[in-house]
């Protein structure tokens, strides 16, 4: 199977997936084939190294986000029929979609409102200290010393509580902000597929038999985790060659060694 036959078979296997998902996958695997061909493999060997088309298509479908996958399954293949069905069932899917959007938005805003409420509480507690001092001065000026002492004590106690609460609110705010980021990424994952930025055109581990001799010399294959170690012709695991005995002209000869022992 050559590259053109592979891409055609993969496009047919992907079926009703959105066109942008299909084209993105086709471009990704075409680039993998081109990279292997540049490394010295034939086009047929590069295609064969990718694996069965059905397995590749199943993996792509499994990685497709939930919403595009559901839309693709509901696609009838006829644009006119799709529009008619959207209009007919709009009293059902439009309220449901709006309810889901509003629910997600309310959850996101609720998390931020908790953060705002925590910081408002800390600020109010810290302001009790200056308020207690102002109350002290005012009560002393009007002739209420006991009330002045009570206001000062309450203000200082609240300010101290606010100082202790400040550290807890800082930690809680960091956790809640991370929670909002995780929730936003989860919502985004329902619609958008993860970018294959970390994937390489050539698999990070492959058996040496998948590459020709010239390509294997330039790009040595990395053994896969858990794969058995290569064995020698006698069925034994190869080890580095034993060190050669020192020669007469070598600094590590017997004379040098005896000199080292005397030292």
Please give the mean pLDDT across all residues of the chain.
Answer: 75
Structure tokens at 105: 């938005």
For residue 153, is it within any domain? yes
pLDDT at residue 229 above 70?
A: no
Mean pLDDT of 10-14: 84
> Are both 46 and 95 inside the same structural domain?
no
For residue 239, is it within any domain? no
pLDDT at residue 124 above 60?
A: yes
> Are both 173 and 202 inside the same structural domain?
no
> Are both 141 and 164 inside the same structural domain?
yes
208 pLDDT tier (thresholds 50, 70, 90): very low
- First-to-last alpha carbon distance for the chain, in angstroms, is 71
Most confident of 73-77, 113-117, 139-143, 240-244: 113-117
Residue 69's pLDDT is what? 67
The Cα–Cα gap between 168 and 206 comes to 50
For residue 215, is it within any domain? no
Higher pLDDT, 239 or 111: 111
For residue 45, is it within any domain? yes
> Are both 107 and 152 inside the same structural domain?
yes
123 pLDDT tier (thresholds 50, 70, 90): very high
3-state helix, strand, coil in the chain (%, to 5): 70, 0, 30
> Are both 95 and 154 inside the same structural domain?
yes
For residue 217, is it within any domain? no
pLDDT at residue 100 above 90?
A: no
Residue 82's pLDDT is what? 66
The Cβ of residue 243 has, within 10 Å, a number of other Cβ atoms equal to 7
Residue 219 Rama label (left phi>0; alpha psi -120 to 50; beta): beta
For residue 70, is it within any domain? no
154 pLDDT tier (thresholds 50, 70, 90): very high
User: 143 lies in which domain range?
Assistant: 90-189
Residue 109's pLDDT is what? 92
> Are both 59 and 141 inside the same structural domain?
no
153 pLDDT tier (thresholds 50, 70, 90): very high
> Are both 53 and 118 inside the same structural domain?
no
For residue 80, is it within any domain? no
> Are both 16 and 104 inside the same structural domain?
no
pLDDT in tens, 70-98: 766 666 666 677 677 778 878 887 888 89
Structure tokens at 47: 């295609």
Tell me how many domains the chain contains. Answer: 2
> Are both 160 and 95 inside the same structural domain?
yes
> Are both 143 and 114 inside the same structural domain?
yes
> Are both 123 and 167 inside the same structural domain?
yes
The Cα–Cα gap between 25 and 199 comes to 13
Q: How many residues does the chain have?
A: 263
pLDDT at residue 161 above 80?
A: yes
For residue 85, is it within any domain? no
CA angle 99–103–109, rounded 5-degree value: 145
Which contiguous run of DSSP H or E holds residue 153? helix 145-189
Mean pLDDT of 141-155: 91
> Are both 59 and 94 inside the same structural domain?
no
């Amino acid at each position: 199977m050559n590259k053109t036959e592979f891409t055609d078979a993969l496009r047919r296997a992907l079926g009703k997936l959105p066109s942008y998902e299909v084209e993105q996958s086709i471009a990704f695997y075409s680039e993998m084939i081109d990279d292997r061909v540049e490394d010295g493999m034939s086009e047929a060997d590069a295609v064969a190294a990718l694996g069965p088309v059905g397995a590749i298509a199943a993996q792509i479908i499994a990685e497709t986000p939930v919403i595009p996958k559901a839309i693709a399954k509901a696609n009838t293949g006829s644009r006119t029929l799709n529009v008619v069905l959207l209009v007919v069932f709009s009293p059902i899917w439009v309220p449901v979609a709006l309810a889901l959007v509003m629910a997600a938005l309310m959850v996101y805003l609720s998390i931020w409102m908790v953060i705002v409420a925590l910081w408002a509480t800390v600020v109010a507690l810290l302001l009790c200290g200056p308020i207690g001092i102002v109350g002290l001065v005012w009560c002393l000026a009007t002739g209420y010393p006991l009330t002045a002492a009570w206001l000062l004590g309450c203000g200082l106690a609240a300010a101290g509580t606010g100082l202790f609460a400040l550290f807890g609110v800082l930690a809680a705010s960091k956790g809640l902000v991370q929670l909002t980021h995780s929730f936003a990424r989860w919502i985004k994952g329902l619609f958008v597929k993860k970018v294959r930025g970390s994937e390489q055109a050539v698999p990070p581990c492959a058996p040496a038999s998948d590459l020709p001799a010239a390509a294997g010399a330039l790009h040595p294959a990395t053994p896969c985790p858990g794969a058995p170690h290569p064995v020698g012709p006698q069925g034994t695991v190869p080890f580095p060659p034993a060190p050669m005995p020192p020669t007469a002209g070598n600094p590590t000869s017997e004379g040098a060694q005896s000199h080292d022992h005397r030292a």
